[in-house]
Amino acid sequence: MKGVVFTVFLEMVEEKFSADMVDDILRDANPENGGAYTSVGTYSHEEIVALVVSLSQHSGIAVPDLLKAFGEYLFAQFALSYPQMISARADVFSFLSGIEDVIHSEVRKLYPDAQLPRFDIEHPAKGTMVMVYRSIRHFEDLCEGLILGCIKHFGESIALSRSTVGDGPGRAERFELTRGA
Ligand code: HEM
């Protein structure tokens, strides 16, 4: 997992909780580098999970809720850091339709070792878009938060629902976005 995800996470914890909370969760999770993440570094994705689990224990907020909130925060940060990736797209559906070919492929150019999920996009009916998310890291909740952050960013009225499809190694998460709901 790229360091940028860690630095934004710790920034969110400091802003929404406190600097002491950052110290507490770093002490609990005890990452190899002592928490000195750099945005271009690469760290085990299990470390971010350990930090979120510790934040959950200290705050009493469930892990999926924290991951979702973090996804929303992360999208807002991405929008600030990479405005050119977002400004070229007019709305949520056109932005998210380009997640593989435009957004994450640009990310791969910036960070060749990025570990990115796979998305299959469908447009089953006018006003509806489906994103099927697959990743061995299973950040479904983070993904939901990123999509919600994207909807908020564009200020559109879109309802989001999700369901799990398949099981075992083929398990995927299906996100359905419906306009005007
Ligand atoms: C400008 C917008 C975006 C940028 C710059 C961006 C960039 C990134 C970066 C740098 C990572 C970390 C890769 C790594 O750790 O090696 C990542 C991971 C991820 N991104 Fe994006 N992303 C953007 C938008 C989105 C959106 C809208 C979604 C959801 C539809 C999304 C879904 C994910 C997920 C779920 C991961 C975690 C890795 C995994 O699940 O395997 N991203 N992205």
Whole-angstrom Cα Rg for the chain: 16
In a domain, 109, yes or no: yes
Q: Does 122 reside within a domain?
A: yes
> Hey, what are 69's tokens?
């909130």
Which of 104, 121, 122, 158 is the best mutation target for the ligand 1 pocket, counting ligand atoms within 8 Å of the beta carbon and taking the most?
104
Task: Please check whether residues 111 and 161 belong to one and the same domain.
Answer: yes
**pTM for this structure?**
0.96
Residue ranges making up the domain that contains 96: 88-179
d(CA 33, CA 90): 41
Q: Is the CB of 5 under 6 A from ligand 1?
A: yes
- Give CB contacts under 8 A, 24+ apart, made by 90-98: 91/154, 91/156, 92/150, 92/151, 92/154, 92/156, 92/158, 92/177, 93/123, 93/129, 93/177, 93/179, 95/150, 95/154, 96/121, 96/129, 96/131, 96/147, 96/150, 96/177, 97/121, 97/123, 97/129
Q: Over the stretch 21-68, which tens digit does the pLDDT of each residue have?
A: 999 999 999 998 888 999 889 999 999 999 999 999 999 999 999 999
Q: How far does the centroid of ligand 1 lie from the alpha carbon of residue 142, in Å?
A: 9
CA of 43 to the centre of ligand 1 (A): 15
Calculated CA dihedral for residues 7, 11, 13, 15, nearest 10 degrees? 180
Q: Tally the domains of the chain.
A: 2
Q: Which pLDDT belongs to residue 39?
A: 86
Per the domain annotation, does 69 fall within a domain? Answer: no
User: Same structural domain for residues 175 and 115?
Assistant: yes
For residue 117, pLDDT over 70 is answered with yes
Q: Indicate if 105 and 53 belong to the same structural domain.
A: no
Q: What is the CATH number of the domain that holds 147?
A: 3.90.1520.10
129 lines ligand 1 (CB under 6 A): no
Does residue 78 belong to any structural domain of this protein?
no
Residues 99 and 147 in one domain: yes
Based on the domain organization, do 96 and 165 belong to the same domain? yes
